[in-house]
């Protein structure tokens, strides 16, 4: 009930104008908000029944507006290539928490495992951190993990803590891979 307290705009009607309708003068010039008319239920129904989208159009304009593809020939702002050249969308700009875009690309371009077990995008990223190929087995995973922990651990490097970030990545990658179905 939008217009509570306003009378119906139809001449001679004493009912409350509860339903908004566009103004007689059109949408306005854009500077000021248009003054809407308010009608009672009976008169807003009559107003809506008399509305004709095609009023004032020529037969050619009506035919053009009723085509099955009407409106589809223009690019929307989200997909317009203005300022982008022919590069297309930058997939790195999109959040892809399920790795749907990357996994589809890798599936067609990256070799699969010889045992046929699938790798997720997270599995592949973890294998990259460890420097292992996609078809590495569980023993190769453990061997490479041990090697990298010895390389980056501060106790093995005379207390040098400059490799702690890389050590954290190696540990996280190993923890993720050892629970992955491909290494079960």
- pLDDT (0 to 100) of residue 87: 60
C-alpha torsion sign, points 98, 102, 108, 111? negative
Lowest mean pLDDT among 66-70, 85-89, 139-143, 148-152: 85-89
How does pLDDT run across 125-141, given as a tens digit for each residue?
Answer: 999 999 998 888 899 99
pLDDT band at 106 (very low <50, low <70, confident <90, very high): low
pTM of the model: 0.41
């Amino acid at each position: 009930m939008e217009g509570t307290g306003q009378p119906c705009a139809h001449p001679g009607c004493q009912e409350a104008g509860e339903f908004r309708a566009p103004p007689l003068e059109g949408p306005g010039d854009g500077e000021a908000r248009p003054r809407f008319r308010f009608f009672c239920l009976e008169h807003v129904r009559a107003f809506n029944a008399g509305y004709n989208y095609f009023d004032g159009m020529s037969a050619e304009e009506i035919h053009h507006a009723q085509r099955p593809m009407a409106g589809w020939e223009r690019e929307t702002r989200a997909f317009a290539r203005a300022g982008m050249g022919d590069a297309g969308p930058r997939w790195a700009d999109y959040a892809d928490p399920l790795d749907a875009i990357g996994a589809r690309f890798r599936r067609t371009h990256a070799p699969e495992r010889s045992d046929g077990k699938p790798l997720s995008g997270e599995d592949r990223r973890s294998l990259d951190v460890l420097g292992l190929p996609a078809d590495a087995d569980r023993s190769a995973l453990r061997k490479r993990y041990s090697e990298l922990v010895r390389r980056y651990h501060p106790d093995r490097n005379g207390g040098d803590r400059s490799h702690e970030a890389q050590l954290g990545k190696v540990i996280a990658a190993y923890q993720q891979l050892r629970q992955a179905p491909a290494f079960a």
